[in-house]
Amino acid sequence: MPRRRRVVIATRLYAPEVTAASFRMDALARALAQDSDVTVLTSRPPRGSAIEDPPAITVRRAPVLRDRSGAIRGYVQYLSFDIPLFFRLLLHRADVIIAEAPPTTGAVAAVVSTITRRPLVYYPGDVWTDAVASMAAPRAVVAVMRAIESFVLWRAAGAVAVSSEVAERLGAIGGRPDRVTTVGNGIDTDVFSPDVPAAATDRPYFVYTGTMSEWQQPDVFIRALADIADPEVEIRFFGQGAVESELRALAEQLVPGRVHFGGLVGPAESASWIRGSVAALVSIVPGIGYDFARPTKTYAAAAVGTPVLFAGADTGGQVVRGGDLGEAVGFDAHEVGAAMRRLLAAWADGSTERTRPDRVAWAVGNASLRTVGERAAEVVRGAHRGSRRGGQ
C-alpha cells in the first residue's frame, strides 16, 4: 500500500479565526485530508476562541505577537510568526509545503523548500506588492516587497489565485502563468446557511463582519447611518482591524448609541448576526490597489440569504449586481444612505424574506468553499506529482 502524501500548511491565520484566509486554509486542509496526512502550522488564536479541529488534521499552534485589536498585522507581528516558522518547517517532514500570505511567510517556506528539495505551493488571497503601493509606502519598501513576492512566486511549483484578476497580477510580478491556477473564492455553506437562528434583537440593524482596514474604510457606513432619520436603526460591527478605534470615535461623534462593536466572534455566531440583519455591509475603497477584490463577506451574506450592501470598487459591485444579491453603489455616504433606505423598505414589506431563497441558491451554485478547497487541493496534488517525476 503506497504511503500517504505528507502535506504541511504554513498559515498565520486558521480556524477558528473569522477571516477569509482562515476559511480558505481550512477548506484546503479538509480537502487534502481525504488522501494525505495534513499538518497545519499556525498561530494561537485570541483568548476565548473555541477550538474544534477536525480529527483528520493535525494543527500545531504557536504563540505570536498581536496588535491591540488582536490582529497579526505589522512587520514585527509577521516576523514573530515567520522566524519560528523556519525551524518549525525544518522539523516537519513533508512531501509538499503550502504557504499562505504574507510574502514573508512565503519566503520562509520557499527557503525551507529549497533546502529540503520539496515543492512549494503559494496561496495568497491578494497581491501584497499592490497593497503596499496603495498605502503610499516608500518606494524602497514597495521594491523590497516586490522582490520578496517575486522570489516566492519564482520558487513555487504552483500558485493558487482566488480570482482571474489576482492571477493576472501574480503573473505580472513574477509568477509563471502556467503555474498559476485560479480556483475562485467562497464560503462554508454548511455554517453560513439560511437555517441558522437569527440573532435576537428588537431593533433593525445592518451588520459588518471581519477586517476593518484602510482598504475597506467602513466609516462610509457610519456616515451614511447619520442620514437615516429613524433612531432605531443601528449598525453592528464584528471583527477587528487597524481603523477600529477611528470607527468608534466617529460613531460616538455622529450617531451616539447607534453603532455597536461586538469584537471577535466565531463563524456560527457571525452567521447568526448576518441572518438577522437588514443587510450585510461590504466595502472596497476604489483606486488604492484592491479594485479586483471579491470580498468573502459578500458570499457569507448570500449563503444565509441576507442582502448585501456593497460600496466601492466595481469588481465587487459586479458580483452583487450579477447575482442580484442586493445593492451595489459608489463609495459615497449619500449613495450608501439611499441604499440603506431601500433595503429597510424591502425588509419592512417582506420582500427580503421572499427573495432569500434566490440568494441562497446563488451562493450554493457559485460560492461553495468546499468546491474551492477541492480545486486548490488538486493544485497541491499536481505539484507533488511533478516533484516525483522531477526526482525531488
Quickly state the pLDDT bin for 75 (edges 50, 70, 90): confident
Mean pLDDT over the full length of the chain: 93
Express each pLDDT in 227-269 by its tens digit: 999 999 999 999 988 899 999 999 999 999 999 999 888 889 9
Q: What percentage of residues in the chain have a pLDDT greater than 90?
A: 78
Does an H or E element contain 192, and which? Answer: none
CB–CB of 208/281 below 8 Å? Answer: yes
Q: Quote the pLDDT of residue 72.
A: 84
Instruction: Write the DSSP assignment of 234-301 as a string of letters.
Output: EEEEEEE-TTHHHHHHHHHHHSTTSEEE-----HHHHHHHHHTSSEEEEEE-TTSS-TT---HHHHHH
Domain made up of 5-186+368-390: CATH architecture = 3-Layer(aba) Sandwich (3.40)
Q: What is the pTM of this model?
A: 0.86
Q: What is the mean pLDDT of residues 211-240?
A: 95
Distance, CA of 64 to CA of 72 (rounded, Å)? 8
User: Which CATH class for the 205-366 domain?
Assistant: alpha beta
Distances (CA, A) of 226 to 95, 208, 235, 258, 259: 55, 16, 11, 9, 11
Q: How many CB atoms lie within 10 A of CB 272?
A: 18
The rounded distance, in Å, linking the Cα atoms of 203 and 199 is 11
Poorest-confidence range of 14-23, 108-117, 213-222?
Answer: 14-23
Question: What local confidence, expressed as pLDDT, does residue 287 receive?
Answer: 85
Domain ranges of the chain: 5-186+368-390, 205-366
**pLDDT value for 25:** 97
Q: Does the structure show a pLDDT above 70 at 11?
A: yes
Per-residue pLDDT at 100: 97
Q: How far is CA 326 from CA 9, 14, 282, 343, in A?
A: 36, 30, 11, 8
d(CA 219, CA 222): 5
Pick the closest to residue 68 from 232, 245, 223, 187 (CA basis).
245
Least Cα distance to 27 among 57, 4, 68, 60 occurs for 57
Per-residue pLDDT averaged across 29-44, rounded?
A: 97
pLDDT confidence of residue 388: 60
- Residue 73's pLDDT band, with cuts at 50, 70 and 90, is confident
Domain 5-186+368-390 and domain 205-366 have a common topology: yes
User: Kindly report the CA angle at 95 between 94 and 100, in degrees rounded to 5?
Assistant: 70
366 DSSP 8-state letter: H
